[in-house]
Amino acid sequence: MDKLIVEKSGPLSGTVTISGSKNAALPILMACILPTGRIELQNVPRLADIRTSCKLLNILGCNTSFEGNTVVIECGQLNPHAPYELVKTMRASVLCLGPLLAVLGEARVSMPGGCAIGARPVDIHLTGLEQLGATFELEEGYIIGRTDGLKGAHIVMRFPSVGATEHLIMAAAMAEGETVIENAAREPEVADLANFLNACGARIEGQGTSVIRIEGVNGLRGTTYRVMSDRIEAGTFMMAAPLTGGELLLEHCPLPELDAVAVKLREMGVCIEEVAGGVRVACGDDLVGVDVETMPYPGFPTDMQAQITTLMCSAKGLSMVEENIFENRFMHVMELNRMGADIKVKGHTAIIKGMRKLVGAPVMASDLRASASLVLAGLVAEGKTEVQRIYHLDRGYEKMEDKLTAVGARITRVRA
């Protein structure tokens, strides 16, 4: 099992090219079950989760091939069975359920797995699909879905779940009649999925707002589409620059989609500006503590909580982080405390006492974003930090150690 050895580095300096968005590419790949014809997806990051999605599509009857950062998909005779061996490793795999029901009228999909950051139940997905005309049974860990034909419905979601919103958009795209989704997730990745489907001939409007309207169509066609840049990867590198006292130019940085992050970083004293070629991020005056609450978009993203917690360890005064999305997303705190941080957690709130000197230590990643926060901590910790279980990191960051090394970090991947 691979691990990263991170040594204290000087100020990072240089240019980082932001990859395509994992969180946008995954649902778009599952949506490729719907159209007939050749689909070419550009700007797709080469990540473990993407490879898993392509393996799943191959099993389901779609031929996929990677050419650089472009994936070509052509679906043939579809198979309705999504096996446990693949779905258990990646939660987004459950998103094949709706498209299979829309095309075949049946599906057998394993209950999903993924990061251990909370329950993340699929009941919102299933409730919405039932309103569209599907029925479900649970059998030996599998979701068995059937329908005589999906029909449009008025769906009011009890929580603006990103995955459920994406799932319902896909299923409704070829359902009979109009579907209205209220209290829909507003994340940019949801809008990217809707824009892809519209490029395939779907009729979706309102994406990016809390009310999405879908007029079902009889069929979708292949297309060429460029996936949006990864705002979470961009946000992570926006933390790395001020943490090390450095300056980075981020190419293809989706700054408008990072507004909530940029606001908090500027409050902390970070300089962020759009310049020719990208977004410049630099350490300004001494960092100061701030308070952060994670919220659904356009609020501060839960996927940036662990990274800003690490940055807060180097800020003056006290900082507070309130996690409102996932109930088990402070597992990185124990590892940061082992490195010398002073963080106290009570319920879903963490209090960080800043200006602590971090010291390198063996640490274990518990999930994708926690692994990124520990790598960041290692950049400023005295000595060496050994980040174990980096398969989590490989699920969401394309060549992170290579990108960091290119701008001055001292980081090495060690194969066990």
Domain with residue 169: its CATH number is 3.65.10.10
Q: Which range among 100-114, 214-228, 244-258 shows the weakest confidence by mean pLDDT?
A: 100-114
Sign of the CA dihedral 134, 58, 79, 32?
Answer: positive
The helix or strand, by DSSP H or E, that contains position 215, with its residue range, turns out to be strand 211-215
202 & 261 share domain: no
- Residue 265 sits in the same domain as residue 158: no
Q: Choose the final residue of a domain: 211, 226, 241.
A: 226
Same domain, yes or no, for 319 and 183?
Answer: no
Do 313 and 353 fall into the same domain? yes
pLDDT mean over 131-158? 95
Total structural domains within the chain: 2
141/273 same-domain check: no
Distance separating alpha carbons of residues 226 and 381, to the nearest angstrom: 38
Active site residue 115: yes
pLDDT digits (tens, 9 = 90+) for 292-336: 999 999 999 999 999 999 999 999 999 999 999 977 789 999 999
Pair 302, 358 in one domain: yes
Tokens for 409, please give them.
């970090």
Paired sense of beta strands 224-226 and 38-42, if any: parallel
Is residue 84 predicted with pLDDT exceeding 50?
Answer: yes
d(Cα 316, Cα 233) in Å, to the nearest integer?
25
Structure-block tokens of residue 318: 């006290």
How much is the average pLDDT of 61-84?
95
- Do 157 and 36 share a structural domain? yes
What's the pLDDT score for residue 66?
Answer: 93
| pLDDT confidence tier of residue 219, bands split at 50, 70 and 90 | very high
Catalytic residue among 32, 115, 200, 313: 115
Computed from CA positions of residues 53, 55, 56, 57, in that sequence, does the dihedral angle turn out positive or negative? positive
pLDDT tens figures, 166-192 = 999 999 999 999 999 999 999 999 999
Cβ atoms within 10 Å of 224's Cβ, excluding its own: 12
pLDDT of residue 114: 43
The residue out of 172, 196, 226 marking a domain boundary is 226
- When mean pLDDT is compared over 109-123, 132-146, 220-234, the highest value belongs to 220-234
**Together in a domain, 44 and 184:** yes
Beta strands (DSSP E) in 125-190 are 135-139, 142-146, 154-156, 178-182
Computed over every residue of the chain, the mean pLDDT equals 94
* pLDDT tens for each residue of 255-275: 999 999 999 999 999 999 999
Please provide the size of the chain in residues: 416
Q: Give yes or no for residue 212 having a pLDDT over 70.
A: yes
Q: Are residues 278 and 399 in the same domain?
A: yes
Q: Is the pLDDT of residue 154 over 90?
A: yes
Q: Which domain-ending residue is among 195, 226, 257?
A: 226
Judgement on whether residues 370 and 310 belong to the same structural domain of the protein: yes
pLDDT score for 92: 79
Parent domain of 330: 3-19+229-414
Residue 113 has what pLDDT?
A: 53
The pTM is what?
Answer: 0.94
CA pair distance 132, 82, nearest whole angstrom: 21
| Distant-in-sequence, close-in-space partners of 173: CB < 8 Å, separation ≥ 6 | 31, 34, 102, 197, 202, 204, 214, 216, 217, 220
Nearest to 59 by CA among 84, 34, 37: 84
Please check whether residues 222 and 236 belong to one and the same domain. no
The per-residue pLDDT for 115 is 40
